[in-house]
A and B are shown apart, each in its own frame.
Chain A
Amino acid sequence: MIEINHLTKRYGVLKAVDDLTFSVAAGEVLGFLGPNGAGKSTTMKMITGFLAPTSGSIRVCGHDVESAPLAAKTCMGYLPEGAPAYAEMTVRAFLDFIANVRGLAGDRRKSRLDDVISRLALGSVLEQPIETLSKGFKRRVGLAQALLHDPPVLILDEPTDGLDPNQKHEVRTLISAMSKDKIIVISTHILEEVDALCNRAIIISNGRILADDTPRNLKARSATGRLDDVFRAITTGAPVQGVAAHA
């Protein structure tokens, strides 16, 4: 369970996130949509405890992110934007490091490592330094790191950015397969992804929620049935052909 209450983040006079309130329950795959600079990444950074909110509160699995950060961080897996990782480390050393920090030991450590390495097909690059990997592999290492401790909550910032169509498909299959009993929040620019993966979509712009609905209902707002048109109508406020006014 993620509960977000009147979350606001100000940078000087700029309100990056403006009074956001929503909650996400287990089994939901929430697609976080919005134009660049809408506040998607800022919101994710606050949920994961990287940035402190200006005001408002966030609870993850019942733990307040500000007052009990370690407990909240323990139940989350996070893929930051761009999938940063220690470039000079080999994939194996990096995953070992994450397993140590996550306190995995014994059989569970081994089975979790084997699981993410096989799920993300990292077996062939285990001994390579991360800096020598292709973009697709780097992204998969980032995902492996987020999944390693099998967290109940996954926060993925643009998980398929920079992947080729086959890799995108694999990552989506992976996310779908995990979605049954987890909370997954993904941010993306790719609307078809929301359609394929998510059972809920939140569209934000200028830090405010403009729409919170299932992808199916959002599509129904347009006569053409295209999510792109609905997205443009909602985020720009301009009339878009086929989308009913005040949609």
Chain B
Amino acid sequence: MHNICTLFRREFASYFATPLAFVFIVIFLFLTGVCTFVLGGFFERGQADLAPFFTYHPWLYLFFIPALSMRLWAEERKSGTIELLMTLPVTLWQAVLGKFLAAWAFAGVALALTFPMWITVNYLGDPDNGTILAAYVGSFLMAGGFLAIGSCISATTRNQVIAFILTAMVCLVLFLLTGFGPAINALDGLLPQSIIDAIASMSFLTHFSSIAKGVIDLRDLLYFATLIAISLAANAIVLDMKKAD
């Protein structure tokens, strides 16, 4: 635990040692604003809720989260610090968890800084704050899912650009499009309904939208927890098999 904490703090601080944190947070906040007010029609809808804000989170995460996760292990490989890290008295698990949790906490900070949105909607009307809280929890869990996949993919390469593109593609094809109406409808008739339902149940979108409606179902929580656990286990296995180069 002590080691996870030490690695967490180092990794978390490293985001703020460069302009990365600032650039990331500013652009993230700007784009969530654009999505909510322009694309989502926040005012035109005339409803006091944050649905237009949360609807776009999966698509924003699609390129924001790989930008966070791409450096997690690829940079360690590129700079050779992986050799330093792996010869310190820490276990592989501690390293994987410490780094992942730091990235997740950073994503959490970016998400928390969208609080003016919450203040705005409370100022303008009388929203269901329980639903909003649930949606925040769902969004944070979804960010964790994206990050765990990104961390695993980052461990396979020393090239951050490759890590970014692969993560975005895997998340898009396997975890977003599978739950995206127009994409899943295209499969109608090609595959039996039960298989289509099974595919859709694997998607971030399916689980996120059910939490965002304000219902925190154990199955949705388990889905994200399992996804994160499996991705991080794969991450550790990849590192163990391929430490050098």
Residues of A within 8 A of B (CB): 45, 48-51, 69-70, 73-74, 76, 78, 80-82, 84-89, 93, 97-98, 100-103, 129, 145
Contact = CB atoms under 8 A, between A and B. Distances in A.
A101 B81 contact: no
A84 B17 contact: no
Contact of A88 (B17, B83, B84, B89): B17
20 contacts: A45-B83, A49-B87, A50-B87, A50-B243, A50-B244, A69-B91, A70-B91, A74-B89, A76-B87, A78-B84, A80-B83, A80-B84, A81-B80, A84-B80, A85-B84, A89-B13, A89-B17, A97-B6, A101-B88, A129-B17
A129 B16 CA distance: 13
A87 B18 CA distance: 11
Nearest to A86: B81
B17 A82 contact: no
B14 A100 contact: no
Contacts, number: 66
Contacts of B84: 78, 80, 84-85, 145
A50 B86 CA distance: 6
A85 B88 CA distance: 13
Contact of A48 (B6, B17, B18, B87): B87
Contacts of B6: 97, 100-101
Contacts of B7: 101
A101 B89 contact: yes
Q: Which 9 A-B pairs have the closest CB atoms?
A: A84-B80, A88-B17, A100-B6, A80-B83, A73-B89, A48-B87, A84-B81, A74-B89, A78-B87
Nearest to B18: A88
Given A80-B87, A129-B17, 11 more contacts: A50-B83, A69-B91, A73-B87, A73-B89, A78-B84, A86-B14, A88-B14, A89-B17, A97-B10, A101-B3, A102-B88
Contacts of B219: none
B2 interface: yes
A74 to B, nearest CB: 5
A97 to B, nearest CB: 5
Contacts of A85: 81, 84
Nearest to A100: B6
A76 to B, nearest CB: 7
Contact of B83 (A84, A100, A103): A84
B86 A89 contact: no
B90 interface: yes
Contacts of A129: 17
B80 A82 contact: yes
Contacts of B194: none
Give the interface centre of B81, B84, B91 by most chain A CB atoms within 10 Å. B84
A101 B9 CA distance: 11
A97 B14 CA distance: 12
